[in-house]
Structure 1
Amino acid sequence: MVSELEKLKHGDWYYFLDPEVAARKARAARLCQEFNSISAAEADKQEMKIREILGSSGENVSVQAPFNCDYGKNIHVGDNFLSNYNLTVLDIAEVRIGDHVMIGPNVNIFTVTHPLDAKKRREYLAKAVPVSIGNDVWIGGSATVLPGVHVGDNVIIAAGAVVTKDVPSDCIVAGVPARVIKSL
């Protein structure tokens, strides 16, 4: 029999209240709480804790508390990564973020989705769909990136945008849903 974690890893529908899935979230919640309780004056301690949370991270990584995630180990950030306050990453699936990425305050990155059918939602099903964000990307405050989105290189996501589809390189996207408003 296939475990719920195996279903999750393969991108199949899985039961999100499964004890193994819940244990990942509980671990992430504990580590995020520890990170968020470290004083900003203790930058070295903050950096050590965020590196413990993340799956991998490059050089010069700066994450402002509070930070929250679903797992942590599925988040991979490159060199010169900066996120402002209140970044939430629901990283049930992998989230890959390139080099020289800046993320504004109150940004959400989601990899989890649920069935459209109400009866299926009552079964507590979810599906994990990876997100990737290229190099030299700036995500403005209160933007949201939805499951399965690929953001190219040299992209600006305007404040408040909701990114529902892939974004090509070298552009600015804005709006709900986000659309290309300018080429760079």
Structure 2
Amino acid sequence: MTEKDLMLRGELYYFYDQELNQESRRCKNLIRKLNNTTENQVEDRVQIIKELFGNVGELCWIEPPFQCDYGSNIQVGNVVFFNYDCIVLDTCKVSIGNNVIIGPRVCIYTASHPICAEIRGEGFNIGKPITIGNDVWIGGNSVINPGVTIGSNVVIGAGSVVVKNIPDNVIAVGNPCKVLRSITAEDNEYWNKMKEKYEMQMGSKEE
């Protein structure tokens, strides 16, 4: 049993462990390279993302600056976009589905700390995994807290603080984040009409 095993299992672990520090340094090296890429270094940035994350689908993109703890505990599906200034504390596993937009300055925190000040001061930490489903849009400046699961086809309003699970097919907002309403067939009909209007003016973008 290693400190990393305990960390990934969501149990109390010792933060200053040598193996964890080595993985953290590896992560910081890759993040420095990522954050120093220019808008013209598309292939370089894509390759760094593949090295940084534990698992990456097709068309994952990050707008620097970006920060995370280890990177290897982050798994993303296809067509995932991180806007500017996102932070992912991936003490535990972060699973992100397909077709996900993560707005600017969104913070995803699997990391937590003991409430007991004495134990906290001794360098012990704890965390809980986070899961984000498919077809999710997380508005800017939102905070996703440890242990949360966000369902599929969900919109999280800007500035929300998500402390509890969010079900599928809803719009949720606020601090604490609560379900505002369901996403309905009428919503989809409205946006399909908007797309039809666009295509009448500009033509179809589908290949």
For the aligned pair, the TM-score class normalised by the smaller chain equals: over 0.9
| Runs of 4+ deviating beyond 2 Å | none
Q: CA deviation at 1:3?
A: 2.9
Task: Pick the structure with greater CA Rg.
Answer: 2
User: 2 CA distance for matches of 1:143 and 1:134?
Assistant: 16
Where 1:109 maps in the other structure, the secondary structure is strand
- Is the 8 Å Cα contact of residues 84 and 104 (structure 1) preserved in structure 2? yes
Partner of 1:171: 170
- Residue aligned with 1:34, SS: helix
The structural deviation recorded for 1:60 is: 1.2
Q: Distance between the aligned counterparts of 2:48 and 2:109, measured in 1?
A: 22
SS of corresponding position for 2:24: helix
Unaligned regions of 5+ residues in structure 1, if any? none
* TM-score w.r.t. length of structure 1: 0.96
RMSD after superposition: 1.0
Query: Percent same amino acid among aligned pairs?
Result: 40
- Tell me the distance in 2 between the aligned counterparts of 1:159 and 1:62: 20
TM-superposed CA distance for 1:178, in Å, is 0.7
One-letter amino acid of the structure 2 residue matched with residue 62 of structure 1: W
Secondary structure of 2:84's partner?
coil
Q: Of Structure 1 and Structure 2, which has the larger fraction of its residues in helix?
A: 2
Paired residues, number:
183
Q: Post-superposition shift, 1:11?
A: 1.9
| 1:125 CA displacement | 1.1
The amino acid that maps onto 2:117 is A
For the residue of structure 2 that corresponds to 1:20, the secondary structure is helix
Given residue 18 of structure 1, which amino acid in structure 2 is its aligned partner?
Answer: D
- 2: CA distance between counterparts of 1:74 and 1:9? 8
Where 1:39 maps in the other structure, the secondary structure is: coil
> Which amino acid in the other structure matches residue 46 of structure 1?
R
Report the 3-state secondary structure (helix = DSSP H, G, I; strand = E; otherwise coil) of the residue aligned with 1:47: helix
1:141-180 matches, cutoff 5 A: 141-180=140-179
Q: Which residue of 2 aligns with 1:21?
A: 20
